[in-house]
Amino acid sequence: MKKEFFHSLLLSVLVMMLLVSCQKEDCNSFKKQHVVTNTALSTKQTNFANPPFDLNVILRGACNSTLSEADDEEETGDCPVGHLKFRQDPDAAKIVVLDTKLHNMLPNHAYALQRAVDEINVVDGNCTSTIWRTLGKGLTPQLLMTDAEGNGSELFWRDLTAVPTGSRFDIHFRVIDAISKAVVLSSDCFQYQVR
């Protein structure tokens, strides 16, 4: 009995040590795999038994390979990235709120968040639309400004009153440089259903 307890305890300690001793490269590769897995799910999200009223969208850009002098020992994580929380409350107003955050972008610079939507109720997980609309406050486009460190956030919204409840569509997002109009971040294809 004591021997089994000792072996169980030893095994538990070894497993804990293994989990705690995750090296930086292994942890980063795990995080990347986890993000890739979550992102891959976005294109396969066609189960409308649990409709996707809310979306968590990651926007990715090309990474810099340079390290800053202050962080020469470790990676700076200088890849430009954005996160979009796309939420529609269950109320009659049918307003979608787009809480948008950008990181590691050009400092003190203007960007625009855009979306393209495939034909309504033709949901196949393949975003083909190239008709990009700049998002903002309702129908008024709004730019997102970054601070001196290249980070920025903005709360956009869109009124979906004209879109029938239950309508489904494929949607994807991108962030463009407001000056050059170059695409700097883009998302995978998501499926959305209007509440």
Q: Which residues of 99-122 are buried (b: 16+ CB within 10 A; e: fewer)?
A: ebebbbbeeebebbbbbbbbeeee
Q: Which two tokens stand for residue 117?
A: 């939507």
Give the pLDDT score at 161.
93
Give the pLDDT score at 122.
93
Q: Which two tokens stand for residue 109?
A: 């610079």
* Amino acid in position 89: D
pLDDT at 32 over 70: no
Whether the predicted model's global pTM rises above the 0.75 cut: no
**Residue 117, SS3?**
strand
Angle at 149 between CA 188 and CA 38, to 5 degrees: 20
pLDDT digits (tens, 9 = 90+) for 35-93: 333 333 344 444 445 678 899 999 999 985 443 434 433 444 689 999 999 999 888 88
CA dihedral angle for residue 119, residue 164, residue 85, residue 137, rounded to 10 degrees: 100
pLDDT digits (tens, 9 = 90+) for 131-172: 999 999 999 999 999 999 999 999 999 999 999 999 999 999
Give the pLDDT score at 153.
98
Distances (CA, A) of 113 to 44, 85, 94, 190: 24, 13, 20, 16
Answer CATH for 44-66+77-193 from 3.40.50, 2.60.40, 1.10.10, 1.25.40 = 2.60.40
Cβ burial, residue 49 (10 Å; 0-12/13-18/19+) = exposed
The domain spans of the chain are 44-66+77-193
Give the pLDDT score at 3.
52
pLDDT at 102 over 50: yes
pLDDT confidence tier of residue 2, bands split at 50, 70 and 90: low
Give the pLDDT score at 63.
84
Number of alpha helices (DSSP H) and beta strands (DSSP E) in the chain: 2, 12
pLDDT at 14 over 90: no
User: Residue 134's beta-bridge partner residues?
Assistant: 114
Closest-CA residue to 99 (of 155, 171, 175, 174):
155
pLDDT at 15 over 70: no
Give the pLDDT score at 1.
52
Whole-number Å distance between alpha carbons of 180 and 60 = 18
Give the pLDDT score at 49.
56
Q: Phi/psi class of residue 125: alpha, beta or left (left: φ > 0; alpha: ψ in -120 to 50)?
A: left
Give the pLDDT score at 4.
55
pLDDT digits (tens, 9 = 90+) for 104-123: 999 999 999 999 999 999 99
